[in-house]
Amino acid sequence: MNFLKRFSLFEIVLIITITGIHLYAAFSDAYNFPNAWFTRDDAYYYFKVAQNITEGRGISFDGINLTNGYHPLWLLVCVPVFYLARFDLILPLRVLLIVLGILNAATAVLIYRIISSSLSRAMGILAACFWAFNFYIHTTVYEFGLETALAGFTIVLLMWNLSAFEKKWRTKPVPPRQLAFLGMLAVLVMFSRLDLVFFAVIVGIWVIFRGSPIRFFLPLDIVIIFLSMVLSVAIRTGLEAYNILYASSAMEAALISLVVKTISFYFFGLYQHPRANSVWRTISQVLAANSAGTILVTGFYLLLLQIGFANNFPRTAFLLDWGISVTLALAIRLTARLIGNKETPMIEQTSPISGLLANWKKWLGDGAVYFGIISGALAVYMSLNKFIFGTSSPVSGQIKRWWGSLPNTVYERPAHNWTTFLGIGFQNAFDAWQPFSNVALWIAKKIYPLYPGSDTTDERYYMVMAVIVILVVILAAMNIRRALEKITNMALIPLAAGCAILILSYTTTAYGGAKEWYWISQMIFVTMAGSLFIDLAIHPLQKFKPLRFSLEASAVLIGIYFAYGLGSYVTTVMRYNYFPPERPYIEVLPFLEENTQPGDIIGMTGGGNVGYYIKDRTIVNMDGLINSNDYFHALQNRQAPQYLSEHGVTIIFANAQLLSMPPYFGQFERYLEKYNVYGGKGLLYLLKEPKY
């Protein structure tokens, strides 16, 4: 009973509703699981590796090649669950579905607590129900069976603790154990999805530089400095050439620029209080800081080019970078000055060196605790990967960046237009701001009579986006004091900066094969930021108790509507006593089992779900995402057929035309002999020697 007292009535009802929906799905027909819930091939990479670990076949998808193509924390969760696969292949899926329901409920409760304590109970109810029952979030985060559900929970758990931290540090000294606890939570976030390392780092900046303007400016400066450099290169070269030839050199220059310009910004006084200087002095500081930074970055990079430690680089991009970074840095400072409290007198200016001398011990000590934990955990992870798998980072990410550098690859292309490059595209893999972008697209369709045309969807979509952004700015400006307070208390600045850097880490690195579930932090940001701006609109109504009660009742009714919609969907697709038990889990399984022998080792592009469900055969992944580092290099060197043959593969099940295109480059053609066909894919013998 003491445990239950920790939860409000709403939280208890929310938990029961979410787990009830998932329990209903968990006990439905076995055929539902591969065909209506766990439908993404990538999830089965985790499932099969976890199963093989429990059966003593190593950290491997096929029991032959060691692989690290996954995010480690979710695999750790899957391992005990898939111990049950030795009894029945569907049983661990039923258990995992319940685990996903628990993660959904826990995340929704934490969102409720963050929003209700920072904004209002009505907004907390609405935000929690939106997260728990929104169809897009449910499908992308919880149905796929991927690491996204765990990543969402760890992000919100860290945000909840940051919100509590924000209320405590202003009145009490921060002990090292509190920073260590935040560091450990950041490690959980990072290992739930490795690309969240950027968010973990920015959270460290937010925590360590508390009480200083640095905590507000530096996260945003990291975004603009990085964006400025890569955007300058892309403008100078064009996106196609950028992806194929210049992405790596742009990354090198951007990283150098981050280090040099942040130091330059500090010593030229750009991290002082926004009202510490006049407007003209702020402008001169921005110009001087960027000029000095650009000169140093240009000189250092040209030196690296001369001694052969850097790649080819368009020199004029440095001038473009100067102009873009000056514009963005100045916009941030002048905006900060504009929204500052105008009744506050001019703040006495402290020199950057004086500030450094006064604070360096505290900053260094706090940084050593927080970043020591993160960097130590990351170093251990990378060292173990290097020792066990031969590469310090997941091979799947390396392969996808290689795909992006290839022209005409058969797999998903990297960001190929300016909207996707900037992370504001829609209806593609780089649609990073769902489910908000779905709302904007719905409005864009409704205004068709006002702006007709068969090819005007893009224009109408961005018009709607622009109008929404303008309305948000106006609303925030009308409530600037409350908006700034809530943005700070909810730690939305580090979350926003982390979202931006995460998007750029994919769009600007020629990453081929991005997926919709990568954008979990953006979904959380949309939920929290959306809650804030709705709250700003309805805040005047909260002052009256009857209206406050009406808002809470309305939020409950909307939550019931959301829950009913999701529950109806789940009961429709997760059927009971509908499919005969003997029906194959995947339609291709009987064909493969009839046309191969027990013990055969079959190569497939993808093959996650087949690898998990097939009996007495082994599936080897051919695209490399869940294969070894050695196979990746063999594929790059066009020796993949020999590699597979040496590792026991005798049969290939793949589309022959696909194998003729990059990244395969036709290297299998001389080693294949077709003997059957299914669904457009050939079942082919893999010969040990080439035919010609």
What percentage of the chain has pLDDT greater than the value 70?
98
CB 523 within 8 A of CB 432: no
Tell me the mean pLDDT in the region 411-439.
90
Res 342: pLDDT? 56
Size of the chain in residues: 692
Place of tokens 């920073």: 179
Res 45: pLDDT? 97
- Tens-digit pLDDT profile for residues 114-123: 999 999 999 9
pLDDT interval class at 444 (50, 70, 90): confident
Give 121's Cβ-side CA count (13 Å radius): 16
Residue 144: pLDDT over 50: yes
* Tokens, residue 629: 């580092």
* Tokens, residue 379: 């170093």
- Tens-digit pLDDT profile for residues 467-509: 998 998 898 888 888 999 999 999 999 999 999 999 999 999 9
Distance CA 129, CA 559 (A): 5
pLDDT interval class at 2 (50, 70, 90): low
- Tens-digit pLDDT profile for residues 233-255: 999 999 999 999 999 999 999 99
- Tens-digit pLDDT profile for residues 619-650: 999 999 999 999 999 999 999 999 999 999 99
- Tens-digit pLDDT profile for residues 273-290: 888 788 899 999 999 999
Tell me the pLDDT of the chain averaged across its residues.
Answer: 93
Output the CA–CA distances (angstroms, integers) from residue 652 to 9, 48, 440, 610, 660, in the order listed: 56, 19, 44, 13, 14
What percent helix, strand, coil does the chain show, rounded to 5? 70, 5, 30
Distance CA 472, CA 391 (A): 45
Res 4: pLDDT? 57
Res 73: pLDDT? 98
Res 345: pLDDT? 47
Distance CA 117, CA 485 (A): 13
Q: Tell me the torsion sign for CA atoms 79, 83, 84, 87.
A: positive
Among residues 107, 149, 67, which one has the least CA distance to residue 623?
67
Strand arrangement, sheet containing 618-621: 618-621, 601-604, 651-654, 681-686, 672-678
Distance CA 82, CA 90 (A): 10
Helix or strand holding residue 208 (H, E): helix 197-208
pLDDT interval class at 3 (50, 70, 90): low
pLDDT interval class at 384 (50, 70, 90): very high
* Tokens, residue 40: 């993404």
Tell me the mean pLDDT in the region 596-616.
95
- Tens-digit pLDDT profile for residues 650-664: 999 999 889 999 999
Tell me the mean pLDDT in the region 427-453.
88
Residue 85: pLDDT over 60: yes
Res 349: pLDDT? 63
What backbone phi and psi angles, to 5 degrees, belong to 174? Answer: -95, 110
Residue 422: pLDDT over 60: yes
Place of tokens 């909810």: 490
Among residues 372, 14, 36, 389, which one has the least CA distance to residue 204?
372
Q: How far apart are the first and last CA of the chain?
A: 76
Distance CA 563, CA 677 (A): 44
Residue 602 is classified by DSSP as E
pLDDT interval class at 547 (50, 70, 90): confident
Tell me the mean pLDDT in the region 397-405.
93
Residue 347: pLDDT over 70: no
pLDDT interval class at 456 (50, 70, 90): confident
CB 199 within 8 A of CB 498: yes
